Structure 1
Amino acid sequence: MNRFPVSSRNRWWSCSLVAGLLAGWLSLVSVVAQTAQSGELRVEVVTGTPAKPTPVRVRLTQLGRVVRQLPPEAIGVMYGLWDHADGFAFQPDSSFYVNGRFRLKLPAGTYQLTLSKGPEFLDQYHQVVVTAGKTQQKTFRLTRWIDMAARGWYSTDGHIHIRRSPRENPLLMSWLQAEDVRVGVLLRMGDFWETYYPQYAFGEPGVYQQNNYLLVSGQEDPRTPELGHALGYGASDKVRFSKEYYYYDTVFDRLHQLGGLTGYAHHAETFHGYRGLTLDGLRGKVDVLEILQYCVDANPLRTAHYYHLLDLGFPVTATAGSDFPWCGQDHDHGSPEHSARIGNARFYVFTEQPLTSQSWKEGLKAGHTVVTSGPMLDFRINNARPGDRLNVKKGEKLTISVQAFGHQKQVPLERIELVGHGKVLASATNNQPGQSASRLSLQLEVDTLTRGIWLAARCFAGPQQAAHTTPIYVTVEGGGFHNPETADRYLKLSESYLREIEQELEKERDQPEFQLWHYKKGLKTRIAETREVIGELKKRFRQER
Structure 2
Amino acid sequence: MHKYKPVRKVVLFNAFLLLQVLSWPGILAAQQPSTGRLEVQVLDASTNRLTPVRVRLSRNGWAVKELPKEAVAVMYGVWDHADGYNYQPDSSFYVVGQFSLNLPPGTYHLSLAKGPEYVEQQHDLQITAGQVHQEKYQLKRWVNMPAKGWYSADDHIHIRRSPREDSLLLNWTQAEDVHVGVMLRMGDFWETYYPQYAWGEKGVYQKEIFLLTSGQEDPRTPELGHALGIGASDKVRYSKEYYYYDKVFDKLRELGGLSGYAHQAETFHGYRGLTLDGLRGKVDVLELLQFCASDKPLITNHYYHLLDLGIPVTAVAGSDFPWCGNDHDKGPPERSARLGNVRFYTYVNGPFNYNNWKAGLAAGHTFVSSGPMLSFEVNGQLPGSKLPVSKGTTLHITAHVYGHSTQVPLQALEIIGHGKVLSRITVEEAGQSLEHLSVTLDIPAEQGIWLAARAYGNPTQAAHTTPVYVQVDGKNFHNPATAPHYLKLSEKYLKELKKELKNRQADPQYQAWHYRAGLERRIAETQQVIKGMKKQLK
TM-score normalised over the length of structure 2:
0.94
Give the one of 523, 527, 531 matched to 2:523: 527
1:255 and 2:252 correspond = yes
Equivalent-residue separation in structure 2 for 1:50 and 1:472 (angstroms): 36
1:408 and 2:373 correspond = no
Q: 1:122–1:143: 8 Å Cα contact kept in structure 2?
A: yes
Task: Provide the residue aligned with 1:113 in structure 2.
Answer: 110
1:183 and 2:205 correspond = no
Task: Provide the residue aligned with 1:510 in structure 2.
Answer: 506
Counterpart of 1:303 in structure 2: which amino acid?
Answer: T
SS of the residue corresponding to residue 271 of structure 1 reads coil
Task: Provide the residue aligned with 1:40 in structure 2.
Answer: 37
SS of the residue corresponding to residue 507 of structure 2 reads coil
Query: Cα offset for 1:49?
Result: 3.8
1:66 and 2:63 correspond = yes
Give the one of 368, 372, 376 matched to 1:375: 372
Q: 1:34–1:107: 8 Å Cα contact kept in structure 2?
A: no
Summarize the alignment of residues 358-507 of structure 1 with structure 2, pairs less than 5 Å apart.
358-446=355-443, 448-507=444-503
Aligned structure 1 segments of 4 or more residues deviating by more than 6 angstroms: none
Range moving further from structure 2, 346-355 or 330-339: 330-339
Equivalent-residue separation in structure 1 for 2:351 and 2:466 (angstroms): 22
Query: Cα offset for 1:33?
Result: 4.0
The gaps in structure 1 that reach 5 residues or longer are 1-28
Equivalent-residue separation in structure 1 for 2:450 and 2:321 (angstroms): 32
SS of the residue corresponding to residue 84 of structure 2 reads coil
Task: Provide the residue aligned with 1:161 in structure 2.
Answer: 158
Cα distance, 1:39–1:67 mapped onto 2, change above 3 Å: same
Equivalent-residue separation in structure 1 for 2:355 and 2:299 (angstroms): 29
1:465-507 Cα shifts (integer Å, max 9, x gaps): 0000000001111111000010110000000000011111011
1:438-466 Cα shifts (integer Å, max 9, x gaps): 000001222x2221000000000013000
1:136 and 2:133 correspond = yes
Q: 2:220–2:227: 8 Å Cα contact kept in structure 1?
A: yes
Cα distance, 1:455–1:33 mapped onto 2, change above 3 Å: farther
Q: 1:92–1:337: 8 Å Cα contact kept in structure 2?
A: yes
1:329-376 Cα shifts (integer Å, max 9, x gaps): 111363313100000010000012111110111000000000000000
Counterpart of 1:391 in structure 2: which amino acid?
Answer: P
Task: Provide the residue aligned with 1:202 in structure 2.
Answer: 199
Query: Cα offset for 1:298?
Result: 0.5
Q: RMSD in angstroms over aligned alpha carbons? A: 1.2
1:539 and 2:538 correspond = no
1:155-180 Cα shifts (integer Å, max 9, x gaps): 00000000000000000000011000
The structure with the largest alpha-carbon Rg is: 2
1:105-138 Cα shifts (integer Å, max 9, x gaps): 0000000000000000000000011100111000
1:103 and 2:85 correspond = no
The gaps in structure 2 that reach 5 residues or longer are 1-25
Equivalent-residue separation in structure 2 for 1:538 and 1:33 (angstroms): 86
SS of the residue corresponding to residue 269 of structure 2 reads helix
Q: 2:46–2:140: 8 Å Cα contact kept in structure 1?
A: no
Cα distance, 1:511–1:34 mapped onto 2, change above 3 Å: farther
Equivalent-residue separation in structure 1 for 2:47 and 2:359 (angstroms): 33
Cα distance, 1:226–1:35 mapped onto 2, change above 3 Å: farther
Paired residues in the alignment total: 512
Q: 2:448–2:476: 8 Å Cα contact kept in structure 1?
A: yes
Q: 1:77–1:172: 8 Å Cα contact kept in structure 2?
A: yes
Task: Provide the residue aligned with 1:4 in structure 2.
Answer: none
Equivalent-residue separation in structure 2 for 1:248 and 1:260 (angstroms): 14
1:53-83 Cα shifts (integer Å, max 9, x gaps): 1000000111111111100000000000000
Counterpart of 1:504 in structure 2: which amino acid?
Answer: E
Counterpart of 2:231 in structure 1: which amino acid?
Answer: G
Task: Provide the residue aligned with 1:336 in structure 2.
Answer: 333
Equivalent-residue separation in structure 1 for 2:253 and 2:178 (angstroms): 26
Query: Cα offset for 1:50?
Result: 4.4
1:412-463 Cα shifts (integer Å, max 9, x gaps): 00000000000000010001011001000001222x2221000000000013
Equivalent-residue separation in structure 2 for 1:48 and 1:90 (angstroms): 26
Summarize the alignment of residues 296-311 of structure 1 with structure 2, pairs less than 5 Å apart.
296-311=293-308
SS of the residue corresponding to residue 485 of structure 2 reads helix
1:274 and 2:249 correspond = no
Equivalent-residue separation in structure 1 for 2:349 and 2:228 (angstroms): 26
**Percent identity over paired residues:** 62
Query: Cα offset for 1:34?
Result: 9.8
Task: Provide the residue aligned with 1:14 in structure 2.
Answer: none
Equivalent-residue separation in structure 2 for 1:476 and 1:248 (angstroms): 33
SS of the residue corresponding to residue 468 of structure 1 reads strand
Counterpart of 1:477 in structure 2: which amino acid?
Answer: D
Q: 1:94–1:337: 8 Å Cα contact kept in structure 2?
A: no
Q: 2:378–2:397: 8 Å Cα contact kept in structure 1?
A: yes
Counterpart of 1:370 in structure 2: which amino acid?
Answer: F
SS of the residue corresponding to residue 36 of structure 1 reads coil
Query: Cα offset for 1:35?
Result: 7.8
